[in-house]
Each structure stands twice: as structure tokens, then as C-alpha cells.
């Protein structure tokens, strides 16, 4: 034997445990997370605008019912936008990247408390937790600037961390 085996903390967080990972992790602060969210927001705005325009145009061309067509198009666009946003955040954050395009651009990723990739269920829960963070007058998001592990309220609810990658 050549002595104790050393682990690479970035490659083997699942072998270490949450305490050791959290001690070594470099957490992403509020402003870095905010920048990533702005990038994601711009991308999603463009995609959602295209789909909203298509839905609105179809409602106008196919239905000459006036206000009913507008109401149906509005609720259809809102529903589609919600599903697209949920799918984008949940699928990207639970992927091998562990990050949305905005997070990837800012070199940050989402992990569980031990540094492992999160599953789709936890990613969906984290996204839904953002609703609670929003309804607290955004204080749930601002918490990321003041908590020890830079966690927002939705991170605490989902048991996740956002770390520099």
C-alpha cells in the first residue's frame, strides 16, 4: 500500500458527504445568480414572444369572435409560457450541465447539498419554490446575498446549492 488514497473533491463529491463538500464549495452569490437569471430571462422572453405571436396570429386568423379569441389566445400563451419556463429550468438544471444557459455562461451550477446532480423532481420543486420566493416580495431571492451558503428561499426548500463550477 502506498498510503491513504486522496480524493479529488470536484470529481467525487458523492464519496465525501455534505459537510466536506460544503466546506470546500465556492458558493455563487446574489449578483452572479442575478446575472445568470437575466441571461435566461432574455432567452426565454425571445422564445415565449415567438410562441405568443404565433398563438395570437392563429387566434386572429382562425376565430373572428373578437374578445373571446383574445382571451383564449392570452390564456393559451400564458399556459404555454409557464410550461416552457418550467421545462427549461427543470430539464437544464437536472441535466449533466447542472445549469441553464445563463448559469453556464456565468460558470455556476445547481447541486444537492452533497454536490451531486439534482434529479428532475427536485429541479421541478426548486422551480415551483421560486413562486414562493417571488410572493415574499422577492425577499426569497434576496436571501441568497445574506445566507451562509448563499441559498435563496427556493434553494432551502429544495435542498439545493448554487456553486461556482
- At 23-56, the pLDDT tens digits run 788 999 999 999 999 999 999 999 988 888 877 6
pLDDT band at 12 (very low <50, low <70, confident <90, very high): very low
So what's the pLDDT on residue 113? Answer: 92
Which range, of 2-11, 112-121, 138-147, averages the lowest pLDDT? 2-11
Interatomic CA distance for residues 94 and 91, integer angstroms: 5
pLDDT attached to residue 164:
94
Q: Which tops the pLDDT comparison, 102 or 16?
A: 102
What span, in angstroms and rounded, lies between the C-alpha atoms of 40 and 144?
A: 18
Strand ranges for 98-159 from DSSP E: 108-112
| Residue 7: all three cell numbers together | 480524493
Give the residue among 44, 3, 62, 23 at the shortest CA–CA distance from 161. 23
The pLDDT assigned to 7 comes to 41
The set of cell numbers assigned to 10 is 470536484
Residue 62 pLDDT: 57
pLDDT at position 63 is 59
Single pTM value for the model: 0.79
Q: Would you tell me how many other CB atoms lie within 10 Å of the CB of residue 27? A: 18
In this predicted structure, what is the pLDDT of residue 75?
Answer: 81
Please give the mean pLDDT across all residues of the chain: 85
Query: Looking at residue 52, what is its pLDDT?
Result: 80
Amino acid at each position: 500500500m502506498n498510503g491513504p488514497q486522496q480524493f479529488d473533491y470536484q470529481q467525487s463529491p458523492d464519496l465525501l458527504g455534505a459537510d466536506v463538500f460544503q466546506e470546500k464549495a465556492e458558493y455563487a452569490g446574489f449578483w452572479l445568480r442575478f446575472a445568470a437569471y437575466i441571461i435566461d430571462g432574455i432567452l426565454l422572453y425571445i422564445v415565449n414572444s415567438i410562441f405568443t405571436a404565433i398563438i395570437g396570429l392563429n387566434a386572429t386568423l382562425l376565430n373572428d369572435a373578437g374578445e373571446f379569441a383574445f382571451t383564449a389566445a392570452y390564456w393559451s400563451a400564458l399556459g404555454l409560457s409557464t410550461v416552457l419556463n418550467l421545462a427549461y429550468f427543470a430539464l437544464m438544471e437536472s441535466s449533466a450541465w447542472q445549469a441553464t444557459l445563463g448559469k453556464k455562461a456565468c460558470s455556476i451550477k445547481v447541486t444537492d447539498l452533497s454536490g451531486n446532480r439534482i434529479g428532475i423532481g427536485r429541479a421541478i420543486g426548486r422551480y415551483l419554490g421560486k413562486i414562493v420566493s417571488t410572493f415574499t416580495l422577492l425577499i426569497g431571492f434576496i436571501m441568497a446575498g445574506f445566507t451562509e451558503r448563499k441559498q435563496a428561499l427556493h434553494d432551502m426548500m429544495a435542498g439545493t446549492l448554487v456553486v461556482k463550477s
